[in-house]
Chain A
Amino acid sequence: MSAQTLAEKMISKNHMGINIASVTIGVGILTFPRSLAKATGAFDGWISVVISGLCACLIGWLLAKLAARFPRKTFFEYSSIIASKPIAYILTFLVCIYTMLFVSFEIRAIGNIAKQYLFYNTPVEMITLSFLLIVQYSVVGSRIAMLRLNLLFLPVVLVVMFIVLLFTTQLFEIENIRPFFSSDWRSLLAGSKDVGLSYSGFEIILFYTMLMKNPQEGTRAVTLGLSIPFLLYMTIYMFVIGVFSADVATNLTYPTIELAKEVEIPGGFFERVESIFFTIWIMTIFNTCAMWLDITVLNLSSMFFNVHKTVWVLILSPVIYFVAMLPQNLVDFFTFADSVTYFGIAVVYLCPILLLIIAILRGVKSNE
């Protein structure tokens, strides 16, 4: 405890990048090829991935700039410097609601997918609850330890993804990806919007910059952090279309997992690779969840600092669980997911950018 130097309690640029990559790679990556194939109807969806990737990078860059103006300050603190206390209260509160809903979404997604690929009798309620308990356990511990888990789990997840892609190369049919450039720009833009939802997550830079050794490096961390999901999305989309063709991909609920289903490990040691794949994937969804819950707690404690972290986790968990159980079926669930993301776009992208503009106009900077 005391012997650990301050520098080690802070996070480096690369670590921040990996945090952003882990929070971005979550449930979205499992479903986005479907919506993208539906919107563009062809292989050209990759252009949408590029467009939305660039947009995400730009927004992320702006958010990092905002956070870097106020080193060692929480979101609540710097928004109250920029735009008075009452507005900061409202904004932070909205952010808390957003991040909390995001946790609900993720844990429900775990429940749904696990139910589909792993369990026959176990109820979704129990699957979700057990996952939420693990997330609680991690958030109650130290924050830096929770963030270090990203360093452990992300490589594992990427390696598993790589193996899946490696084994599906033989199923790749060049016929499926033709014709090129057949979609019009409208559908490409619509597709970009759909992929854009899967990029959400990099906004954690707003809240975690205060833990960075050098907050000015936040912009580079965002670029690094977004380049990993960007490459992953590109490859996965190409493979999904190459293996299934756009028409089939439109009708698959979780195309990425279905991709794993096609894998046959030589030697026949494992069958049904998709179950293994999803099981490993739980790790990264866990990381996403833990970070979102932690940010909720972080923001709440920045507003009401005399309430202990554990208390917040205990108060929030039943609410999160209740909200997660509200959607009755998959259609409900995806509607819920979309509305959460739209809410998020307003709260964590538009408002902070507005804050940045105000900050630049008023010339507000931290005293440090």
Chain B
Amino acid sequence: MMRRFLSQRRQKKTPSLIAQRLQQRNDPTLTLSTSLQQNMETFKTVLGSPHDLLIRSFTIGNTKHSCAVIAIDGLANCDMLDTQVLGQIQLMISTASKVVPTEPDEIVGMLYEEVLSVVEISKATDLTKILEGILSGDTAIFVDGSTEVIIVDSKGWKTRAIEEPVSEGLVRGPRDGFTESIRDNTVHIRRRIKDPNLRFEGSIIGRRSRTDVIIAYIENIVDPELLDEVRRRISTIDVDEIEESGFIEQWIEDDFLSPFPQIHNTERPDKVSGALFQGRIAILVDSTPMVLILPVTIGLLLHSPEDYYERWIVGSLARLLRYLAAFLAVYSPAFYIALVTFHPGLIPSDLAFSIAATRDGVPFPAFVEAIMMVTTMELLQEAGLRLPKPIGQTIGIVGGLVIGDAAVSAGIVSPVMVIVVALTAIASFAIPSYHLAIAFRMIRFFAMLMAAIFGIYGVVLSLIAIMIHLSNLTSIGYPYLAPLAPHMPKDWKDMILRAPVTFLKTRPDALHTKDENRMNTGGS
């Protein structure tokens, strides 16, 4: 469905909004002229003389040839402009080691070839290109009489320092996390993968936001079909702004009706480089630390990089625990409802009596009781998320007290229900990826409803229904339940258990990698 939807969209790249506006106005003054004065006026008109526009005029050489520098204050690194651009020009003039030519085009050529000591530098005559450069932090140097403009890369705004990822903490593993600057993020990956085949394929998405988006992959590992499909899907994106990688995720995912995330996001560079080595693709988006990893399987979402860093027994047990947590997070309230309402006979009689005794005086059926408690839990979780950290702890205390004690002594819920809800909450916090945990939280209500109608039979029906959904689900065309269904026995070593590293000789079968071997297995 999604595919049909995507293919109907125009495939061609839309021109940027700046270009559109320039075309629409069709104003003769909006092209570059030879007159410096006029060019400055043009820029002021187009940009509307904003407060942060920097224009510095100066003259060159004996002929006092007038020139100007345009940049956006804050985006461009002023220190660098002072020393490498203006400084160099002034130096040249003061030492007069060169004879400054009189022809404007020759001045441009000399500045470009000899004077400016900057690596990233280019010439342009196209107004839109210059404008885009300036708006992304470049500096344009105009020389009176010439339509050629020198563009110096002077991007240098303030970025956040590298910090430990907040949403994905680890005991063992690197402490650095991605930041909002896409350049820093590519550096993180490049530092971990010194393979010449690492590719960063850049494109600009968003008519107004003009956001840098990079597709990262390792050329001779990744499945070419996957790469083409990702490129195709990204090329269909035609929207005003890409504020966060979530925009891209939602645009290219397979099934927008599914509660399950079909694309992983992370702010851990080690996770991304690990995924690239496996033959997956990462998508980096400027101005967000969240990097997308695709395709994913449900197994990958339940794995944590730590599983690989710790010894294999620890990693395997941790994974088993997480699968158990996933099950408890979805089904423990449902089981409580089913057992208490329909099948008290299934519980050992002593326990059944004590549960019945604690439920004595609770005015609601188990389903209503469970819904109330689980909803309260969701509220607490959401509230704790929004509040600043110091107050967030208060929420925990208040919530814990209210739920744990007051609700029970007020006779609204039974103590066993409190245990069940606490267990559910703890289990859902043990799931390493937040977006998968949210999916489980949603499904929990479905399971509870089924349990309330059909008891344990309903629980199994809901399990079957979820499995049907998961089995139908794909991530960029790759089956979501990959090593289990379809069967890929080779991949089981790294699914529920994590085999010792020496046994993990191949990359995941499910990804159809070009280079399957991860290690030298002897032979040639």
Mark B497-509 against chain A: 1 for CB-CB distance below 8 A, else 0: 0000000000000
Q: How far is the CB of B305 from chain A (nearest CB, A)?
A: 25
Number of A-B residue pairs with CB-CB distance less than 8 Å in the complex they form: 116
Q: Is the CB of B254 within 8 A of A1?
A: yes
Q: B484 touches which one: A151, A272, A280 (CB < 8 A)?
A: A151
Q: Chain B residues near A146 (CB, 8 Å)?
A: 468, 471
In B212-229, the 8 Å CB interface with A consists of 223, 225-226, 228-229
- Residues of B437-494 at the interface with A, using a CB-CB cut-off of 8 Å, are 453-461, 464-465, 467-468, 471-472, 474, 476-479, 481, 484-487
> Once bound together, how far apart are the Cα atoms of A282 and B462, in whole Å?
12
Instruction: Please state if B454 and A148 are interface contacts (CB–CB under 8 Å).
Output: no
Q: Once the chains bind, are A1 and B474 in contact (CB under 8 Å)? A: yes
Is A315 located at the chain interface by the 8 A CB criterion? no
Mark the stretch among B10-18, B182-190, B272-280, B342-350 that contacts chain A: B342-350
Q: Which A263-290 residues sit within 8 Å CB-CB of chain B?
A: 268-272, 275-276, 279-280, 282-283, 286
Say which one of A95-103, A136-144, A338-346 lies at the interface with B.
Answer: A136-144
Given contacts A134-B468, A149-B467, are A280 and B345 in contact (CB under 8 A)?
Answer: no
- Tell me, yes or no, whether A248 is within 8 Å of chain B by CB: no
**Which of these binds chain B: A3-11, A43-51, A201-209?**
A3-11
Query: CB < 8 Å: which of A138, A271, A275 contacts B349?
Result: A271
- Stretch of A34-42, A114-122, A190-198, A294-302 contacting B (4+ beta carbons < 8 Å): A114-122
Cα distance A15–B467 in the bound complex, in angstroms = 18
Cα A130 to Cα B460 in complex, Å, equals 11
B479 pairs with A8, CB closer than 8 A: yes
Does more than half of chain A's interface fall in helix, strand or loop, or is it mixed? helix
Q: Quick check: A271 and B346 within 8 Å, CB to CB?
A: yes
- Contacting pair B465 A137 (CB below 8 A): yes
B461's partner among A130, A145, A152 (CB-CB below 8 A) is: A130
Q: Is B435 an interface residue (CB 8 A)?
A: no
- Fill in one digit per residue for B376-400: 1 if any A CB lies within 8 Å of its CB, else 0: 0000000000000000000000000
CA of A104 to CA of B458 in the docked complex: distance in angstroms? Answer: 20
Interface residues in A, total, Cβ within 8 A: 41
Report the separation of the CA atoms of residues A138 and B347 in the bound assembly, to the nearest whole angstrom. 32
B464 partner residues in chain A, CB cutoff 8 A? 134, 138, 149, 153, 282-283, 286
A71 CA to B346 CA in the complex, in Å?
50
Complex Cα distance, B471 from A119, in Å, reads 30
Is A122 in contact with B477, judged by CB distance below 8 angstroms?
no
Q: Find out whether the CB atom of B455 lies under 8 angstroms from the CB atom of A148.
A: no
The distance in angstroms between the C-alpha atoms of A225 and B487, with both chains bound, is 16
Query: Could you tell me if B461 and A2 are in contact, using CB atoms closer than 8 angstroms?
Result: no
- A276 to chain B minimum Cβ distance, whole angstroms, is 7
Q: Is B65 close to A, CB under 8 A? A: no
B455 to A, closest residue via Cβ? A118
In the complex, whether A131 has a CB less than 8 A from a CB of chain B is: yes
Please name the residue on chain A nearest to B227 by beta carbon: A3
Q: Are A3's CB and B346's CB within 8 A? A: no
Partner of A119, one of B295, B342, B485: B342
Q: Does residue A14 face the partner (Cβ distance < 8 Å to B)?
A: yes
Measured between alpha carbons, how far is A151 from B484 in the docked complex, in Å?
Answer: 7
**Could you mark each residue 76-106 of chain B with 1 if its beta carbon is under 8 Å from any beta carbon of chain A, else 0?**
0000000000000000000000000000000
Contact A268 to B348, CB < 8 A, known contacts A3-B225, A8-B486: yes
B271 on interface, CB distance cutoff 8 Å = no
Complex formed: what's the CA distance from A259 to B173 in Å? 51
- The CA-CA distance from A269 to B335 in the complex, in Å, is 14
Question: How near does chain A come to B394, taking the closest CB pair, in angstroms?
Answer: 38
Contact B225 A270 (CB under 8 A): no
Query: Do A152 and B467 touch across chains, with their CB atoms under 8 A apart?
Result: yes
CB of A152 within 8 A of CB of B476, answer no
User: Contact between A134 and B461 (Cβ–Cβ < 8 Å)?
Assistant: yes
What 0/1 pattern do residues 224 to 250 of B give for CB contact below 8 A with A?
011011000000000000000000000
Q: Is A189 an interface residue (CB 8 A)?
A: no
Centre residue among A131, A148, A272, A275 by max chain B CB count within 10 A: A148
Name the one of B295, B347, B456, B479 contacting A279, with C-beta atoms under 8 angstroms: B456
Q: Given the complex of chains A and B, what is the CA–CA distance between A282 and B474 in angstroms?
A: 26
Which of B3, B464, B474: most chain A Cβ within 10 A?
Answer: B464
Binding site secondary structure of chain B: helix
Rounded to whole angstroms, the CA-CA distance of A15 and B487 in the bound complex is 8
Which residues of the other chain, A, contact B481 by a CB distance below 8 angstroms? Answer: 148, 152
- The answer to whether B461 and A3 have CB atoms under 8 Å apart is no
- The CA of A118 and the CA of B456, in the complex, are separated in Å by 8
A131 to B458, CA, bound (A): 9
Provide the bound-state CA to CA distance between A1 and B252, in Å: 12
- B471 — which chain A residues lie within 8 A by C-beta? 141, 145-146, 148-149, 152
**With A3-B226, A280-B460 given, is the CB distance from A137 to B484 under 8 Å?**
no
When C-beta atoms are compared, the residue in chain A nearest to B230 turns out to be A3
On whether the beta carbons of A138 and B468 are closer than 8 Å, the reply is yes
B512 at the binding interface (Cβ < 8 Å): yes
Q: How far is the CA of A269 from the CA of B352 in the complex (A)?
A: 11
Taking a contact as CB atoms under 8 Å apart, the answer to whether A275 and B472 are in contact is no
Determine the distance from Cα of A3 to Cα of B454 in the docked complex, in whole angstroms.
Answer: 40
A151–B485 touching, CB < 8 Å: yes
A234 interface hit (Cβ, 8 Å): no
Q: Is the CB of A4 within 8 A of B479?
A: yes
Question: Are the C-beta atoms of B225 and A5 separated by less than 8 Å?
Answer: yes
Would you call A127 an interface residue if the criterion is a C-beta within 8 Å of the partner chain's C-beta atoms? yes
CB-CB under 8 A for A2 and B346, given A131-B461, A137-B465, A148-B485: no
Enumerate chain A residues within 8 angstroms of B465, measured Cβ to Cβ: 134, 137
A279-B474 contact given A118-B342, A149-B485, CB 8 Å threshold: no
Cβ proximity bits B327-358 to A, threshold 8 Å, 1 near / 0 not: 00000000000000011011111000000000
Known: A1-B474, A145-B471. A271 touches B461 (CB 8 A): no
Within the assembled complex, what's the spacing in Å between the Cα atoms of A126 and B461?
A: 13
Collect the chain B residues with CB atoms within 8 Å of residue A280's CB: 460
A152 in contact with B460 (CB, 8 Å): no
- Nearest CB of chain A from residue B74's CB, rounded to whole Å: 42
Q: Which residue of B is nearest A1, CB measured?
A: B477
User: In the complex, what residues of A have CB within 8 A of residue B225's CB?
Assistant: 2-3, 5
Complex contacts, A118 vs chain B, CB 8 Å:
342-343, 455-457
Contacts of B3 in A (CB 8 A): 1-2
A148–B177 alpha-carbon span in the complex (Å): 38
Which residue of the partner chain A has the closest CB to B352? A271
Contact B457 A15 (CB under 8 A): no
Report the Cα distance A153→B464, complex, angstroms: 9
The smallest C-beta distance from B243 to any residue of chain A, in angstroms, reads: 27
Contact between A2 and B468, CB atoms less than 8 A apart: no
Give Cα A134–Cα B461 distance, bound, in whole angstroms. Answer: 7
* B346→A272 contact, CB < 8 A: yes
Interchain CA distance A86-B465 in the complex, whole Å: 39
Asked whether B457 lies within 8 Å of A2 as measured between CB atoms, the reply is no
Interface pair A127/B454, CB less than 8 Å apart: yes
**Chain B residues at the A interface, C-beta cutoff of 8 Å:** 3, 223, 225-226, 228-229, 254, 295, 342-343, 345-349, 453-461, 464-465, 467-468, 471-472, 474, 476-479, 481, 484-487, 512
What are 16 A-B contacts with C-beta separation under 8 Å? A3-B478, A4-B477, A12-B487, A118-B342, A118-B343, A122-B454, A122-B455, A127-B454, A134-B464, A138-B464, A141-B471, A141-B472, A268-B348, A270-B348, A275-B456, A283-B464
Q: A138-B464, A152-B484, A279-B459 are in contact. List 13 more A-B contacts (CB 8 A).
A: A1-B254, A2-B3, A14-B487, A134-B468, A142-B472, A148-B486, A149-B464, A149-B485, A151-B485, A152-B481, A270-B346, A271-B348, A275-B345
